[in-house]
Structure 1
Amino acid sequence: MTPTTEKVARPTKTAPPAAETSGPPRKVRVWQRLTPWLFLAAPLALLITFTYAPVANMVAYSLTDWDGVSPELHYTGVGNYADIFTRAELFQVFLVSGYYLAASVVQIGLALYFATVLSFNVRFRNFFKGVLFFPYLINGVAIGLVFLYFFQDGGTLDSVLGLFGYEPDHAWLGTPASANISLAGVSVWRYTGLNFVLFLGAIQSVPGELYEAAELDGANRWHQFRHLIAPSIKPVLSLTVILSVSGSLSVFEIPYIMTGGATGTETFVIQTVKLAFQFNKTGLASAAAVVLLLIILAVTWVQRRLVPDDKVEPV
């Protein structure tokens, strides 16, 4: 009798569903990739049209002798740049920026002080917040006209000082030193509110539990500022320094409206505007604008290298 062999059935492999092996259809994947670019199309078009295209035209004009009116312009190469770097009077106006750079240090200090104080529970703090930020909301032309009468002979400032028995013997906008100090003071009054809001937002982003823990450990306000607030606002402080330096190099509104650049108050931007619209040297003015742009970019790069934007945790 021979033994019988039984056939063992082997399990058959079934193909997985099509939905598990392949992702979304190709058409869907294409639309998923294009959707972000569709949302970015409008802002990118505006950015290219009103930022990068004008900058490219400015660089092109800086290589010509165009007067801004004539339809003809001639290529001069780097002649305009050589003219800028060889004429000392074109770079002396940067000395005026030193007044505004010193003023930016004052306004950052004031903004940081008021932001720190008003971040705690102080009476009428919302009122003081509005008072500090209000000057930044006013139009620059209006500010220039108001302070023009404020500093004039027999104006508001002289009247207030007269109440205390002080009679100034010179015009506030009559000498280069007093005029630049006065104009820098106006910039402090106007832009302190902007830095104040930036610092206040950074300070209020610190979790309240950290302040409570610090108070339980016996930390006073100075210790809280040193170990909690200062490390937390380091990125914002770096940003305000960059904005202040670039702003001090490109001051225009206040001195142009109040003095027109007279009495030694001419800034680099005012000089550039005069070259373009008063002396019809648009090519040279474009070269000056390119030089200013490169200087601001270089200063910003150096600042970012010296103070990298690292994430800092409060200690």
Structure 2
Amino acid sequence: MAGLTRTAPPAATAARGQVTRRPRRRWSPTPWLFLLAPLTLLIVFTYAPIANMVAYSFTDWDGVSPGLHFTGAGNYAEIFTRADLFRVFFVSGYYLAASAVQITAALYFATVLSFDVRFRAFFKGVLFFPYLINGVAIGFVFLYFFQDGGTLDSVLRLLGHHGDHAWLGTSTSANVSLAGVSVWRYTGLNFVLFLGAIQSVPGELYEAAELDGANRWQQFRHIIAPSIRPVIGLTVILAVSGSLSVFEIPYIMTGGATGTETFVIQTVKLAFQFNKTGLASAAAVVLLLIVLAVTWVQRRLVPDDPDRKAEPV
């Protein structure tokens, strides 16, 4: 018995050989041929301009002359040390507060209209319609709406408040008015995003919650909010980036006057009005880095997976 050795059955040996011997996959250029066109467009029209913008941010180029001089981090130091350039960050605070109101209102209306209510289709159209209007048209409409003795003053007189008010005459009232216009315009976009996410929640969850006696608030807290958490995170990122890059409405209505100049308006003026392309490029890079930093922090503090704990920043 000592001289006997155990050998595996032929079937087991064959099976083991099939497991260990995997067919070699031949490299095929076909997927790369399909990706060649979009990757080329992405590099040429996105990454190459970004690289040029970063390079220009370290120079004093005026955007016209062929010569430019390397200035190091002088443009970035000028952005954070000059009070008139750094003031635009405080203007973004009005739009950031408006974004919070906008997201809250959109989430409320999306939750209400996700249930069976009367005239639901009509209210959906009313909420989404402002987003379909051109931004230039919105700027001119609200320019007459907020002017002295305009539509808003006429409505207030009907309610018993007499006297004209310069809604766009002071920094605070002008920024509040412009932020209110952004709420009116972009609430419909967030509303559609939230409504689509809520309608993707299985109906069986609502039925089980109703059988357990859960009211609407409990259904929102324990079913809707956890289910649409990734969409909420996306809208927060879009709101923060949008509040930092506001342009067309304040540019049309005030042109950046009375303390309403935003980051993008300032960048455009630096590049095309004062011919400081290098400084404008540095401002654009700062805006890009702020948006990336906010996105990174938001993804760490509020992860998409509700079962995953937030990572320390």
Q: TM-score under structure 2 normalisation?
A: 0.88
Unaligned runs of 5+ in 2: 1-13, 309-313
Q: 1:123 aligns with which of 118, 131, 140?
A: 118
Letter in structure 1 aligned against 2:189:
L
Partner of 2:91: 96
Give CA deviations for 1:16-68 in whole Å, capped at 9, x if unaligned.
9xxx98858x7xx333xx33322222221111111111111111111111111
Say yes or no: does 1:280 pair with 2:275: yes
Contact 1:132/1:193 (CA < 8 Å) preserved in 2? yes
Question: 1:35 maps to which residue?
Answer: 30
User: Superposition RMSD on alpha carbons, in Å?
Assistant: 1.8
Give the superposition deviation at 1:107. Answer: 0.5
After the TM superposition, which residues 42-121 of structure 1 pair with which residues of structure 2 at under 5 Å, given as runs?
42-121=37-116
152-161 or 197-206, which deviates more:
152-161
Aligned twin of 1:270: 265
- 1:166 aligned to which of 140, 161, 166: 161
Deviation, 1:86, is 2.0
CA distances 1:222-281 after superposition (whole Å, capped 9, x unpaired): 111111111111111111111111111111111111000000101111111111111111
CA distance in structure 2 between the partners assigned to 1:64 and 1:182 by the alignment? 38
| Alignment: residue pair count | 290
SS at match of 1:123: coil
Q: Distance in 1 between matches of 2:178 and 2:166?
A: 13
C-alpha displacement at 1:127, in angstroms?
1.5
Distance in 2, matches of 1:133 and 1:44, equals 34
Contact 2:135 / 2:248 at 8 angstroms: preserved in 1? yes
Between 34-43 and 111-120, report the one with greater CA deviation. 34-43
- 2:102, 2:289 → 1: CA distance? 25
Q: Which amino acid aligns with 1:107?
A: Q
Gaps of 5+ in 1: 1-15
Q: Does the 8 Å contact 1:67/1:281 carry over to 2? A: yes
Pick one of 282, 293, 302 that aligns with 1:298.
293
SS of structure 2 residue aligned to 1:38: helix
Q: Does 1:216 align with 2:207?
A: no
SS in structure 2 of the partner of residue 96 of structure 1: helix
- Deviating above 4 A after TM superposition, structure 1's stretches of 4 or more consecutive aligned residues are 20-24
The residue type paired with residue 279 of structure 1 is F
Larger Rg: 1
Equivalent position of 1:257 in the other structure: 252
Secondary structure of the equivalent of 2:27? helix
Identity between Structure 1 and Structure 2 (%):
84
Task: Give the distance between the partners of 1:261 and 1:231, measured in 2 at CA.
Answer: 40
> CA separation in 1, counterparts of 2:76 and 2:251?
25
Alpha-carbon deviations, 1:192-226, whole Å to 9, x = none?
A: 01111111111111100111111111111111111
* Match of residue 234 from structure 2: 239
- 2 CA distance for matches of 1:292 and 1:142? 27
Q: How does 1:168-187 map to 2 (within 5 A)?
A: 168-187=163-182
2:127 maps to a residue whose letter is L
**How far apart are the structure 2 equivalents of 1:168 and 1:103?**
27
TM-score w.r.t. length of structure 1:
0.88
